[in-house]
Amino acid sequence: MNKFLTTALIVGTFYSVSAQEKRLLSLEEAVKLGIENSKNLKIDQAKIEESTANLLEAKNRQLPELKVSGSYLYLPIKPNIDMKIGGVSGSGGPDVHQAMYGTANLSMPIYSGGRIKYGIKSAEYLVEASKLSTENDKNAVAYNISQAYNNLFKSSEVVKLLKENLASSQKRDQSFIKLENNGVIAKNDRLKAQLQTSNIELQLMEAENNYNIANINMDLLLGLPDNTEIEVDSNYIGADDLGKPDDYYLNLARENRKDIQALDYQRKAAALGTKAAKAENLPSIAFTGGYVAADIPKFFTLTNAVNVGVGIQYNLSNIWKKNSSLMQSKAREQELLANNELLNDNVTLEVKRDYQNDLYAHKKIDVYQKTLEQAEENYRITLNKYNNGLETITNLLDADTAKITANVNVITSKADAALAHKKLLQTTGTINN
């Protein structure tokens, strides 16, 4: 009895764990979970933190610099000291074996030709550009998850359909065996039907294999344990409104594409970089201050030696040296301008292409739906003729195969149309809205 209870407990625990491994997810939930666990987006977050640190470094350049230093010197050999004070000279001097001194220097920038100001603003633009690049990558992640979800949905639907057809085919095989035993049909006809059943079994095995691979892919994308069985939402396929022209989606892309906005911030940063490079030819002015203290025991002590002033720095070599930083910055501006023009062309092409693909995918649904209706009607007529001895088993099985294929095509075409619309939304930068 104890063994029985132990076995029952183990089996119950196993089924409980197995049930916990299943998870029903809608597409929206999958996208949210995928974005939270995306490794690519974690890399993007690190880039944002890096650009933010660069901004902090640029801001630090406008703050005062305060440096303090001190030294202690030990003199193992007595130095020769020759003092000349007020016309009185002397040699030999006191017995000095050590010396100490300390300094404090303060420097506060007053004018730098705008280099500090341009550097701060440029760094701010680059921070915004990195954030927008992350948002653009989020759109790409959302579409990748939508694509994986679509594959999982199609696989699961095909598995369901083939299981239903396999059950019907197996039931038909049982009927054919009875008919053969009663001498109503030939053995060859029964074998043809069983061959059809075997073909459906092979198709089901392939569909289940595709489903398992698609499920593993989803687990990895969403950051779930790779043994989690994801149940897709049966309402995944919905009505997508394409009643608006492609120009509407093109304008939507120009307003919402984060890569366009990111490139715009990069161009602004490059323009400020050019101004900062020009400012290299201007002098720098800073307020300076300092304090010095020294002590040489038995000989010399210095305290309260405070100094203030204004420092000017100008690199005279700029007169004959070419400003390579300026040349590089202008080249960077030209490169970004060309990239901007190329990106605009690509956006136009992508939107119009994906809009056409979306239309095409939805038109295919209507065609496949008509094909399904024709296949079902053809099977009904063929079956009726077969039952009345007017049609062969081969034509009946062909009609059955055509009906199965038509059902699969309808399901996959609807899923592909939903994915085509998601692709259009990604191209317009609105897939996560």
DSSP secondary structure letters along 154-198: HHHHHHHHHHHHHHHHHHHHHHHHHHHHTTSS-HHHHHHHHHHHH
Quickly state the pLDDT bin for 16 (edges 50, 70, 90).
very low
Q: Are 378 and 404 in contact (CB under 8 A)?
A: no
Task: Give the mean model confidence (pLDDT) for residues 42-63.
Answer: 92
Tell me how far apart the alpha carbons of residues 197 and 214 are, in angstroms, rounded to a whole number.
25
What are the phi and psi torsion angles at 322 (to 5°)?
-75, 145
What pLDDT is recorded for position 84? 67
Q: Which of 157, 103, 190, 137 is nearest to 396 (CA)?
A: 190
Residue with tokens 């809608």: 26
pLDDT at 5 (0 to 100) = 41
pTM above 0.85, yes or no: no
Q: How is the chain split into domains, by residue range?
A: 37-64+113-281+322-428
Residue 241, pLDDT above cutoff 70: no
List of residues 6+ apart from 286 with CB closer than 8 A: 107, 108, 109, 110, 310, 311, 313
Residue 147 reports pLDDT greater than 50? yes
DSSP codes of every residue in 250-273: HHHHHHH-HHHHHHHHHHHHHHHH
Q: In this structure, are strands 300-313 and 88-90 parallel, antiparallel, or unpaired?
A: unpaired
Encode pLDDT of 352-400 as tens digits: 999 999 999 999 999 999 999 999 999 999 999 988 889 888 999 999 9
Domain 37-64+113-281+322-428 part of CATH 1.20.1600.10 = yes
Mean pLDDT of all residues in 62-68: 91
Q: Above 90 in pLDDT, residue 128? A: yes
**What is the average per-residue pLDDT within 274-302?**
89
DSSP string, 350-408: HHHHHHHHHHHHHHHHHHHHHHHHHHHHHHHHHHHHHHTT-S-HHHHHHHHHHHHHHHH
* Residues 25, 232: Cα–Cα separation, whole Å: 6
φ, ψ for residue 103 (rounded to 5)? -135, 150
pLDDT band for position 86 (cuts 50, 70, 90): low
**What is the model's pLDDT at position 7?**
45
For the record, the structure tokens of 83 come out as: 């003092």
Per-residue confidence at 236, pLDDT binned at 50, 70, 90? Answer: confident
Residue with tokens 């001097």: 93
CA angle 196, 197, 200 (to 5 degrees): 90
Q: Which residue has the tokens 């405070």?
A: 306
Q: Which residues of 317-345 are buried (b: 16+ CB within 10 A; e: fewer)?
A: eeeeeeeeebeebbebbeebeeeeeeeee
Structure tokens at 255: 């307003």
Portion of the chain with pLDDT greater than 70, in percent? 92
Tell me what the mean pLDDT of segment 204-214 comes to.
Answer: 94
pLDDT mean over 187-204 = 92
Q: Quickly count: other Cβ atoms within 10 Å of residue 88's Cβ.
A: 7
CB of 196 closer than 8 Å to CB of 169: yes
Tokens of 428: 């317009």
What does the pLDDT look like over 21-50, one tens digit per residue? 788 999 999 999 999 999 889 999 999 999
Residues with Cβ within 8 Å of residue 399, at least 6 apart in sequence: 375, 378, 379, 382, 383
What burial letters (b/e) apply to 199-234, b meaning 16+ CB within 10 Å?
ebeebbeebbebbeebbebbbebbebeeebbbebee
Residue 69 has pLDDT above 90, yes or no: yes
pLDDT at residue 256 above 70?
yes
